[in-house]
Structure 1
Amino acid sequence: MGLGLLAAALGVIAFVRYRERETASMQRDVTLARELRELAGGDDVRLAAVDEFELAIYQRLFYASVVAPRIRSAAWALLGTALAVTATLATAAGDGLLYTVVHVSTIVLAAVFGVATLVFTALALFHTATTPRVSFEDSYGQS
């Protein structure tokens, strides 16, 4: 069970770190798009290519700014739930007042982290379904 918890903790940490690197990459892309727009000057073909690149950035920005923080929070809460449940199971066999207090505390923690996991997951799903994405399809149809 200990190896499973360690693997879960490392998995959550790796997932969160990956998402943070994606945000840093997006910031570099925004800077690059700005520089490319300046270099394009008045060339329509180059400006169209920069517009396409910016569109891809804006679509990724939706996910990175609205949905990803909630997914990261849900991942941390899920890890907290797993650790609290493990602590609950570990203290269940104990005898005495201290074990009882710790056992009840870990049950409460497991419930709080479990509810937080559900709330953050629901928020991520809600924002995925309801937040409008950036789209330039209408402007392409008019040209």
Structure 2
Amino acid sequence: MKGFETMPTSNKMPEQKQKTIEELQEEQTKKEAYEEKILSPSALAVKELVKKGLKDKFGEITEEDLNQAFKSLELSPIDYLNNLAIDVKKLTSKHDRISKADAPEIRTKLKKAWQEINIANNKPDINKDELKRLISFFTAVEELLDNQKL
């Protein structure tokens, strides 16, 4: 009877492999979602066309090569900050207050926002009124986090 009790453990092996495949698919989905946020729709379309064309002509092209080539097609600092603001609003609108569970993610987004604000301040073609509005928003969120001691 003991031999029968140990048999089901061998059935767990395919389940573990399946989980790994699911994790890889989840990572790929997250990566694609991130690219959709960062790159404009036309840049994503161009990236896919270039990827197909280069692959046919030269063979396999790495994702790193493509990312390097498409850095110039990324969103402007204002567009990126607006996307971060939307993400932060989604996290803060779940509750009347910022939850302890969401605080680390909000802090990470705020850190990215301040880095992008520094970049935007150094660009002469940035809409300064829009930048001021975004700075006010991120400052208010940071003050809320500090007041709640999160």
Judge same fold: TM > 0.5, yes or no. no
Scaled by the length of structure 2, the TM-score of the pair is 0.30
**Higher helix share goes to which structure?**
1
Scaled by the length of structure 1, the TM-score of the pair is 0.31
- Relative CO higher for 1 or 2, CA cutoff 8 Å, sep ≥ 6? 1
